[in-house]
Structure formats: C-alpha cells, structure tokens
C-alpha cells in the first residue's frame, strides 16, 4: 500500500483512505550468516532494489538496555485511519473450539523444568541431536538434519544478525521453548531460515520473531509471537521506523501457520513478499492476530509470479491495527484466497482490503 492510496474492502462497501505506507520489508541485516541453501546477501539486494532503500550498518545502538518482558511497540497516532461501513457486514459464529485463543500457559518452557546454562553460540553438527532443558545465553546454529530443541530457553545477550536460532539444515523441530533477547537492539531476530517447525514456542523482544527465507518447509503451530522490538528512528531504515513483523516470509514453499497468537508488531503480524524468491503453498489458518498496519500484508510484487496455493482462512482478529478495520490486505486478484476470517470481538466477517493491482 502506497502513500495516499485509497483502500477498498473487497466484498463490502467499506472504504479506507490511507495516510501512511505499508511496505513489504526484509529485515535481513547486512552480511548475515547464510544457510546452506540460501544467499541472504542476495535476498537483501532484492529488497533494496525493489524499494531503493539504503540500509547502512548501524553506527550507534539506539539502546543497550535490557528489553522488558512485554514491551509495546511505538505507535504513531497519525497513522490511524477510520473505516466507515455503509452497509452492515455479515456475522459468523466463531468455532466452539477455537485454537486462536492461544495463551502463554500453552507455550514456552514447562513450569518446573530445571535448565542447565550454556554460554555462547551452540553449534549443532550431529544429525538427530536432541537439545533438552538448556538455557542458552547466546544463540544456536543448527547445521545438521533432524535436530530437536525442546524445553529450552534461548536468550540473546548481544546484537546478532543471524537469528537467535539459525536453521541451516533440514528437519529442525523446536518444541515447548522460549526465544528472546535481553539486549534491546535493531538487529536481532528470533529464528531465521527454512526447514523447521515450531510447536508451543514463545518468541518475544526481537525485531522479527520468525524470518523465513530459502526453501521454506516451515510449520508454526500453537505458538505465541509477541512484543516486537520497534524504533521510531531505526538506523537500519535510514532513521525511519522499524519494519518489525511477527512472521516475515521473503521466499519459500510449503509453509503452514496455524493455531497461533501474534501481536505487538508495528509493520504486520504476517508479512508476505517475494523479495528473495517465489512463495507458494502457504496456509494461514485458525490463528489469533492483531496489530501491524494491517495484520496480514500480502505484497507479492507487481512484476513477480503469483503466489500459488495461498489460503488465509478462519483467522480471528483483534481490532488493534494502525489502519482501522484492516485485517488482511493484498492485491485484488487474491481476494478469493481469504475466506471466513472474522473479528473476535463481534464475529463480523473481516474481508480482504484491496491493496491495488
């Protein structure tokens, strides 16, 4: 969505006039550690070319103080606009058992788990390795297939450009774990890469909780992503606001996001671009989502292939978006991919807003 664009809600008479820009953003820092299957520096060059954005290395850290456990991203009051429906929207009855009600009690390290501390970068090179009940004060780089991380806390203690967990192989499973940074900074993401699954995982106090690039093959289920790090003046964006997302997808196929709760991002709960390659076979179902300019932003690129196999269905939305009434935004050709999404407070259907072309 561009500056001054009129956004129309597809399927209803709701019209929203935007006074800000929602952008597809790639928060892949310069010179990251690349996974075996992906050149991240190439990914970033695509993003820069698309938006002509220069992203210098930060020369100063906006803050080196520990992040609070539930920080709230800065909102700009002038970004908020109002949708004025002229006809009543249909109402649906939410499912009796709604996994979008994910709470902190169902995610993270189980209460009473005794953790063994590990300091520094934990590099995993043994296939099938099980990492259980650790508190890693640093990061984990997974470079072998079929690794399992469970009942584990990964705590960032410094700025890190590769993600607190870097998935660099295949078949990584992260279960009942926590990922967060105590060093507030504009560079650190939660988990980055491809070929991984998250189940019952809490990620907070980072810029992007999940950053998907490369082949894809990602499952996020029953997890809680929240409390993004956000700066109104971010050195990674030439002093503009941070483009923080709960989930950022820049390439990949076979991606499923279900039964999870996402909030606290300034840019989008789920941001979908094709800045680093094609995206396909993406399912976003039965999640509870809020915040962002619009909570789901589909921005495939005007001159790029269509996203095939996209389904955005039965998601419940909290009405906390900066663009009021904008749950999902995307090109008008994608309107049929969003079905049965609704506002949690009322059960009123939340159709896709028209993002142009």
pLDDT one-digit tens code per residue, 244-299: 999 999 999 999 999 999 999 999 999 999 999 999 999 999 999 999 999 999 99
- Angle subtended at Cα 48 by Cα 43 and Cα 54, rounded to the nearest 5 degrees: 130
* Cβ atoms 265, 298 nearer than 8 A: no
- Report the C-alpha gap between 183 and 82 in whole angstroms: 36
* Structure-model confidence comparison of residues 20 and 189, the more confident one: 189
- Say how far residue 2 (Cα) sits from the centre of its chain: 21
| 191 pLDDT above the threshold of 60 | yes
pLDDT at position 72 is 28
pTM of the model: 0.76
pLDDT, tens digit (0-9, with 9 covering 90-100), for 21-33: 344 444 433 333 3
Mean pLDDT of 6-13: 44
68 touches 230 (CB < 8 A)? no
| Spatial distance between the Cα atoms of 163 and 273, rounded to a whole number of angstroms | 19
Say whether pLDDT at 131 is over 50: yes
Contacts of 3 (CB under 8 A, 6+ apart): 18, 19, 20, 21
Query: Locate tokens 């310069």: which residue?
Result: 30
Give residue-wise pLDDT tens across range 288-324. 999 999 999 999 998 899 999 999 999 999 999 999 9
Residue 348 DSSP one-character state: B
Could you read off the pLDDT of 71-119 as tens digits, one per residue?
Answer: 322 222 222 222 333 333 444 444 433 444 444 457 999 999 999 999 9
| Residue 216, Ramachandran bin (φ over 0: left; ψ between -120 and 50: alpha; else beta) | left
CB 322 within 8 A of CB 76: yes
The pLDDT value given to residue 357: 81
């Amino acid at each position: 969505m561009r500056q001054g664009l009129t956004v129309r809600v597809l399927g209803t008479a709701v019209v929203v006039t935007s006074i800000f820009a929602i952008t597809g953003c790639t928060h892949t820092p310069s010179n990251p550690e690349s996974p075996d299957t992906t050149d991240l520096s190439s990914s970033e060059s695509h993003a820069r070319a698309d938006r002509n954005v220069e992203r210098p290395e930060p020369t100063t850290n906006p803050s080196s103080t520990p992040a609070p456990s539930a920080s709230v991203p800065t909102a700009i009051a002038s970004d908020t606009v109002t949708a004025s429906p002229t006809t009543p929207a249909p109402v649906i009855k939410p499912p009796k058992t709604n996994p979008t009600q994910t709470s902190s009690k169902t995610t993270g390290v189980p209460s009473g788990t005794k953790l063994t501390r590990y300091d520094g970068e934990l590099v995993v090179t043994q296939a099938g390795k099980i990492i259980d009940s650790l508190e890693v004060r640093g990061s984990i780089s997974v470079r072998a297939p079929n690794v399992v991380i469970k009942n584990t806390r990964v705590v960032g203690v410094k700025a890190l450009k590769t993600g607190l967990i870097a998935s660099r192989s295949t078949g990584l499973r992260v279960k009942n774990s926590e990922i967060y940074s105590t060093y507030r900074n504009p560079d650190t993401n939660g988990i980055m890469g491809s070929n991984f699954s998250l189940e019952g995982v809490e990620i907070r106090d980072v810029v992007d909780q999940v950053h998907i690039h490369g082949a894809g093959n990602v499952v996020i289920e029953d997890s809680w992503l929240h409390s993004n790090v956000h700066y109104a003046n971010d050195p990674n964006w030439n002093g503009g606001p941070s483009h923080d997302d709960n989930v950022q997808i820049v390439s990949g196929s076979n991606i499923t996001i279900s039964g999870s709760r996402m909030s606290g991002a300034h840019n989008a709960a789920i941001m979908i671009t094709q800045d680093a390659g094609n995206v396909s076979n993406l399912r976003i179902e039965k999640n509870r989502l809020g915040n962002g300019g619009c909570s789901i932003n589909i921005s495939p690129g005007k001159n790029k292939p269509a996203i095939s196999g996209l389904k955005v269905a039965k998601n419940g939305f909290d009405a906390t978006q900066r663009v009021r009434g904008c749950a999902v935004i995307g090109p008008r050709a994608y309107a049929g991919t969003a079905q049965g999404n609704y506002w949690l407070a009322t059960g009123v259907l939340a159709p896709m807003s028209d993002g142009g072309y």
